Amino acid sequence: MPDPIRIRVASKPVWSWPFWCLESIFEWLSYGLSHWALLEVLQYLGSFGVVVAVIFYFAESGDRLKQKHYQAWQVINTAQGKGGNGGRVEALQELNSDHVSLIGVDAAGAFLQGIRLARAHLARGNFDAVDARDSDFRGADLSNASLKAANFRNSDLRAADFAGAELNNADLFGSNLSEANFSGAVLDDADLCNTNLQDLRWRQIRGIHNANLCGVKNAPDGFLAWALHNGAVEKPHEQN
C-alpha cells in the first residue's frame, strides 16, 4: 500500500480502516481511468447518440402529427349520428388548432357546449340540432352549412360566415353576431332575441319568416323594418 494511503488509514480508528482502504483504492482507480482515451471516446459517443435521437425525433414528427389527426378523425367519425360529446369537442379543437380543414364535417346532434372553433373551416358541415351554447366560432366559415335547430345561445359568432347556411329554428339568443355574414342564409323561425347585430351583413338573407327579433342590439339601418316586413316578429322572450 502506498505510504500516503497507509498514513491516512493509520490516522483513523481501527474499525474504519477497511472503508478508508476501499476509498483510496477507488481514488486510484478513478485517476487511472480518467486517462483512458476509450472512456473519452465513449463519452463523445453518448453525446452523439443524444444528437441522433433528437434528429430522429424531429424527422418523425410529421408521422406523429398524421397519427394524431387520424385518431381525432376516428373519434369524430365513430360518434357520427350519436348524441353526447363522444370526445368530439377535443378532437375538433385539436384539428382546428393544427389548421386542418373541417369542411363537410358531420356533428349533427352532438353536445359541443363551450367548444372553441375560431376561424375553423366548417363549410357544408352538418350541425343540425347541435348543442353549442357558450361557444366560440369567431371568424369561422360556416357557409352552406346545415344548422337547423342548432343551439348557439350566448355564443361568440363575430365575423362568422353563414352565407347560404340553413338556420331554420336555430337558437341564437344572446349571441354576438356583429360583422357576421348572412348573405343567402335562411333564418325562418330562428331565435335572434338579444343578439348583437352590429355591422351585420343581411341584405341578401333568403328567409326570415317568424324569426324573433325581440331585444336585438345595434341593428343595422333598415334591417328591422325589412325583417318585419318579410315576416319576422318581435315577441317577448320566454326564458327556458
CA dihedral 54, 55, 59, 61 (to 10 degrees): 10
Kindly state whether residue 148 falls inside one of the protein's structural domains: yes
Question: What is the 8-class DSSP label of residue 218?
Answer: S
Cell of 191: 331565435
Residue 144 sits in which domain range?
81-240
Mean pLDDT of the chain: 84
CA angle 73/76/80 to nearest 5° reads: 135
Whether 152 and 214 share a structural domain:
yes
- H-state helical runs in 34-125: 37-59, 61-78, 88-97
Q: Which residue has the cell 348573405?
A: 183
pTM: 0.73
- The pLDDT value recorded for residue 65 is 80
Q: Is residue 69 part of a domain?
A: no
Domain for residue 76, yes or no?
Answer: no
Compute the average pLDDT of residues 27-55. Answer: 53
- 52 with 155, same domain: the answer is no
Mapping DSSP onto H, E and C, the string for 136-184 reads ECCCCECCCCECCCCECCCCECCCCECCCCECCCCECCCCECCCCECCC
Do residues 154 and 210 share a domain? yes
Q: pLDDT tens digits for 179-210?
A: 999 999 999 999 999 999 999 999 999 999 99
Calculate mean pLDDT across residues 160-189: 98
Give the pLDDT of residue 117. Answer: 98
Domain with residue 178: its CATH number is 2.160.20.80
Per the model's pLDDT, the better-predicted residue between 49 and 216 turns out to be 216
DSSP assignment, residue 189?
A: T
* pLDDT value of position 57: 40
Report the number of distinct structural domains present in the chain.
Answer: 2
The burial of 225, by beta-carbon neighbours within 10 Å (0-12 exposed, 13-18 middle, 19 or more buried), is given as exposed
- Is residue 156 within 8 A of residue 136, CB to CB? The reply is yes
Q: Are residues 46 and 108 in the same domain?
A: no
In this structure, what DSSP letter does residue 197 have?
-
What is the pLDDT at residue 82? 80
For residue 170, which phi and psi values (nearest 5 degrees)? -75, 145
- Let me know if residue 64 belongs to a domain: no
